């Protein structure tokens, strides 16, 4: 039971890290990103391939994962940031699908649908069982805290203020002399980096990557985490990561407990539940459990 909870803590950290990345892109920047699964796939496969095929040490492999995800995010945002947000939604959705397609079909590189086994993780050789899980969970939450601190700092800094201004009205921000495109691309790249890093963490935790993990369900799970917690702030993403992990695990038990339901039907119920939860949250609590509070006006302006 304890081992299970510790593992869930790691999963919650990974979801929270992705939610923090989405928070920067969507919560602060107001840009739709329906391609989180694609960024996570880029990160996971980069880390797995560097670790397994080239024997790169995990810190370097994770860094490369984040950078590659950031680069692909910057390209997507750069192409669409001048257009209405609907286009970014379409492009990011397509990006995720193409990444999954490539992961399934470039068998020489990715092992196809069979995936890549034996992805290295920190302390996998030296620690075992609960000690490994606990160390991993501590490392994952450590990264989440660092990312959250950075994001909180960024949100309060001029960069965050400009980003919020762009979210509210990018014409006004442009008139005020802000280079809207540059801010959008940077925020998108930085957010994608966090998602890519989370992907690398997931690959290390499972010791395995496969294309199945990077479907639209992953994207919606992270969107659900951020929406439930509350976009725009840091605490919302953290709370959302924990809540959504708890929800997906609870639905696993609930679906297993139902009699007269086949395995396929149980899986359908679980996925449908996530989708339904997201639709309900968007209607009932669009600002999340921990809504973003408007910032106080600085003293000198009052």
Q: φ and ψ at 291, to 5 degrees?
A: -65, 155
State the binding string over 182-221 for another protein (x if CB under 8 A, else -). Answer: ----------------------------------xx-xx-
The residue among 150 and 181 lying less far from another protein, judged by its C-beta, is 181
Secondary structure of residue 108 in the 3-state scheme: helix
Secondary structure of residue 228 in the 3-state scheme: helix
Give the footprint of another protein on residues 217-246 (CB under 8 A). 217, 219-220, 223
Give the footprint of another protein on residues 1-60 (CB under 8 A). 26, 30, 32, 34
Does residue 247 touch another protein according to CB under 8 A?
no
Q: Which residue of 94, 122, 207, 291 would you call a contact of another protein, by CB under 8 A?
A: 94
How far apart, in whole angstroms, are the C-alpha atoms of residue 118 and residue 134? 20
Q: Which residue of 276, 285, 293, 295 would you call a contact of another protein, by CB under 8 A?
A: 276
Does residue 102 touch another protein according to CB under 8 A?
yes
The residue among 19 and 34 lying less far from another protein, judged by its C-beta, is 34
Q: For residue 73, give Cα distances in angstroms to 42, 121, 166.
A: 10, 25, 18
Q: What contacts 234, CB < 8 A, 6 or more positions away?
A: 20, 23, 148, 151, 152, 155
String of DSSP letters for 209-220: E-GGGGSHHHHH
Q: φ and ψ at 119, to 5 degrees?
A: -70, 125
How is residue 132 written in tokens? Answer: 């490994």
Terminal-residue alpha carbon distance, the chain: 54
Q: Note whether 199 and 67 are within 8 A (CB).
A: no
Does residue 82 touch another protein according to CB under 8 A?
yes
Number of residues that bind another protein (CB under 8 A): 45
Shortest distance, CB of residue 84 to another protein, whole angstroms? 5
Burial of 2 (0-12, 13-18, 19+ CB in 10 A): exposed
The residue among 283 and 302 lying less far from another protein, judged by its C-beta, is 283
Considering only the stretches 7-15, 42-50, 99-107, 292-300, report the one whose residues sit in contact with another protein under the rule CB under 8 A: 99-107
How is residue 190 written in tokens? Answer: 């930085």
Q: Which residue of 5, 130, 258, 282 would you call a contact of another protein, by CB under 8 A?
A: 282
Secondary structure of residue 208 in the 3-state scheme: strand
The residue among 127 and 216 lying less far from another protein, judged by its C-beta, is 216
How is residue 150 written in tokens? Answer: 């950075």
Shortest distance, CB of residue 80 to another protein, whole angstroms? 6
- Give the CA radius of gyration of the chain: 19
Does residue 93 touch another protein according to CB under 8 A?
yes
The residue among 34 and 242 lying less far from another protein, judged by its C-beta, is 34
| Site residues (vs another protein, CB under 8 A) | 26, 30, 32, 34, 79-80, 82-87, 89-91, 93-95, 97-98, 101-102, 104-105, 216-217, 219-220, 223, 262, 264-265, 267-269, 271-272, 274-276, 278-279, 282-283, 286
């Amino acid at each position: 039971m304890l081992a299970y909870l510790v593992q869930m803590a790691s999963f919650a950290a990974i979801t929270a890290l992705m939610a923090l990345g989405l928070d920067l892109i969507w919560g602060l920047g107001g840009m739709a990103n329906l391609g989180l699964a694609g960024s996570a796939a880029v990160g996971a496969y980069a880390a797995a391939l560097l670790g397994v095929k080239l024997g790169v040490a995990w810190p370097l492999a994770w860094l490369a994962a984040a950078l590659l995800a950031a680069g692909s995010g910057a390209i997507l945002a750069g192409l669409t940031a001048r257009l209405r947000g609907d286009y970014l939604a379409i492009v990011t959705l397509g990006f995720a699908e193409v990444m999954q397609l490539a992961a399934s079909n470039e068998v020489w590189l990715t092992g196809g649908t069979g995936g890549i086994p034996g992805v290295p993780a920190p302390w996998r050789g030296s620690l075992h069982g609960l000690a490994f899980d606990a160390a991993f969970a501590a490392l994952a939450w450590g990264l989440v805290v660092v990312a959250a601190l950075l994001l909180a700092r960024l949100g309060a800094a001029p960069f965050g203020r400009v980003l919020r201004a762009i979210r509210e009205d990018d014409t006004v921000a442009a008139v005020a002399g802000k280079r809207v495109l540059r801010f959008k691309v940077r925020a998108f790249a930085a957010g994608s980096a966090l998602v890519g890093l989370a992907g690398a963490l997931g690959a290390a935790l499972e010791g395995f990557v496969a294309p199945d993990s990077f479907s639209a369900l992953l994207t919606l799970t992270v969107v659900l985490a951020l929406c439930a917690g509350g976009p725009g702030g840091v605490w919302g993403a953290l709370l959302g990561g924990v809540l959504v992990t708890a929800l997906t695990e609870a639905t696993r038990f609930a679906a297993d407990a139902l009699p007269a339901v086949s395995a396929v039907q149980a899986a359908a119920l679980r996925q449908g539940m996530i989708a339904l939860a997201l639709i309900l949250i968007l209607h009932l609590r669009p600002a999340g459990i921990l809504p973003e509070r408007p910032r106080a006006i600085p003293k000198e302006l009052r």
